[in-house]
Amino acid sequence: MAAPEQRLTLQSTVEIPHSRGTILRPRIGFGVYQSPPDICKKSCLEALRCGYRAIDTAQFYENEKEVGEAVRESGILRSEVFITTKLLLPEGSVEKTLERCWRSVREIGLGYVDLFLIHTPSSGPEGRREMWLALENLLEEGGTRAIGVSNYGVKHLEEMKSYATFPPVANQIECHVLCQQRPIVEYCRKNAIQVEAYCPLVRGTLMKNPTILGIAARHSTATPSQILIRWCLQHGFIPLPKSDNPQRIRENAGAYSFELDASDMKLLDSMDLGVDGALVPQNTDCP
């Protein structure tokens, strides 16, 4: 089954490698972690109405079906929406894990997904290898257009070189002003791996931060959330803001109306706390 080429009409896209060339993907995605199925569908429909053209789900989130339903009900062409999902665990063999991947594709119900990631490196070297080989098979069979990883550290990405026919096109990691993940970001840049930033809004904990408020005040129409998203964009990351509040969904889509200057970026860069700024346990160093 050949997937059609995308015709994205967006304010900003980025090219990522594909087994048959390159494909476009939006520079901002909509996250649905911890969004219950019924609410997830409504939130996705609102996000699509606001101009989002990328949605990030996962097997672990248990809302893949609702993401697919929202895309179908939106009336937007399938080729104009970029869908990412994630494989949680190996199933004991490449064949069984491949079938688990296809189950997600069927659950979403859009024919194929655009990007399929390994969710975590925590299953160990053999589990990681099994999952990657399954994703490579899924890629060749047309179930996905690109494959990548999530929460991988440098050693996990280096390990892949011993068995990967297709290198990962993306690494989705927690990345925001308090947890800037500089070593893995630098590695990904040197190896043409796109960094996707989850928790870019630091789960709302910085909405009253004096530094963020001060920068927002200098950009009269910008909100703290937009400042944090814009910081990600100007570093070349793909931010994945998440909200189930329609007003905030619309607000988060507005990060293209201004640009941070060098002094703004320097201030935000100085907020980095390293791993101490992380909101979730980091798997980048797991065996």
Rounded-to-10 torsion of CA 276, 281, 285, 287: 160
Which tokens go with 27?
């520079």
What is residue 68's three-state secondary structure? helix
Pure H helices in 206-280: 210-218, 224-234, 246-252, 262-269
Q: What is the mean pLDDT of residues 248-256?
A: 90
* Half-sphere exposure (Cβ direction) of 99: Cα atoms closer than 13 Å: 5
Report which of 218, 253, 225 is spatially closest to residue 48, judged by C-alpha positions.
253
Residue 27 φ then ψ, to 5°: -80, -10
Query: For residue 219, how many other CB atoms are within 10 A of its CB?
Result: 17
Residue 135 φ then ψ, to 5°: -65, -35
Residue 66's Cβ-count burial label (10 Å; 0-12, 13-18, 19+) is buried
Q: Report the predicted TM-score, pTM, of the whole model to 2 decimal places.
A: 0.93
Q: Catalytic positions, please? A: 61, 119
Helix (H) or strand (E) holding 40: helix 37-49
pLDDT in tens, 47-99: 999 999 999 999 999 999 999 999 999 999 999 999 999 999 999 999 999 99
What does the domain layout of the chain look like in residue ranges?
13-276
Give residue 174's pLDDT: 97
Query: If you average pLDDT over every residue of the chain, what do you get?
Result: 92
The hierarchical CATH code for the domain 13-276 is 3.20.20.100
The confidence band for 18, taking pLDDT boundaries of 50, 70 and 90, is low
